[in-house]
Amino acid sequence: MEPLITIKDIGRKYVIGAETIHALKSVSLTINKGEFVALMGPSGSGKSTLMNILGCLDTPTKGDYILNGTNVSHMTDNELADVRNKEIGFVFQTFNLLPRNTALDNVALPLIYAGVNKVNRQERAKHALENVGLGNRIDHKPNELSGGQRQRVAVARALINDPSIILADEPTGNLDTKTSIEIMGLMEDIHAKGNTIILVTHEEDIAMHAHRIVRMRDGLVENDYPNPNIQRVQRHTEPA
């Protein structure tokens, strides 16, 4: 079976004035369909740069990135935007919801770019919100929702296009401990349904939900190993 993600000798440098910063030096990595991977590392390790490349938000200075059989390493911005909309669902620490839009409209937004008609958009978005426990909140705006509920809206939006990858960047960073556990329980449910998840975090307890841990340091992969102690969390019946 061909891997979902293959990156070979990826490097990324930034030239700032007379200084050249090598954010990534040489990174090679393979991720198969259905994996749940935590990407970890201290500030300056290169994990954010790698996340941006994996999410097709940036392109490498050298090396190749093969996503679902397509080399996306040297695509134009418009081509990358198309790949992002079709292949990648994003969950951010700050939720990134449109404040004046309802939960339903926020979730349906990627379907507008995909050219789906309004009736289908709303039907699919309603179903996605029901799947994350927010069927009774579809007409609420972000300021009428708790932090955990806003993150559930973001998760529903990430799933709406049935992407190849869910890329979660510090998804519990703005949440309290109880709500963090609930959101990670939701992530486990999503993974159990066959979704591929790449989780970027600096929190050890959050990373313990992943089945594989990749640690970055100084622009290189320092360690890449299966999680020996998959942390099972108790599910809460009440939505966050």
Residue-wise pLDDT for 139-151, tens only, equals 999 999 999 999 9
Residue 86 in domain: yes
Q: Which two tokens stand for residue 110?
A: 């990627």
Tens-place pLDDT, residues 34-43: 999 999 999 8
Tens-place pLDDT, residues 91-103: 998 899 999 999 9
Q: CATH number for the domain including 207?
A: 3.40.50.300
Tell me the pairing of strands 62-67 and 36-40: unpaired
Angle between helices 147-159 and 118-131 (to 10 degrees): 130
Residue 123 in domain: no
Residue 101 in domain: no
Total number of domains in the chain? 1
Residue 132 in domain: no
Tens-place pLDDT, residues 188-236: 999 999 999 999 998 999 999 999 999 999 999 999 999 987 744 434 3
Query: What is the full DSSP assignment across 123-159?
Result: HHHHHHHHHTT-TT-TT--GGGS-HHHHHHHHHHHHH
How many helices and strands in the chain, by DSSP H and E?
A: 7, 10
* Pairwise CA distance, residues 95 & 118, whole Å: 24
Residue 85 in domain: yes
Write out the residue range of the structural domain in which residue 176 sits: 5-92+165-226
Q: Which two tokens stand for residue 32?
A: 């198969």
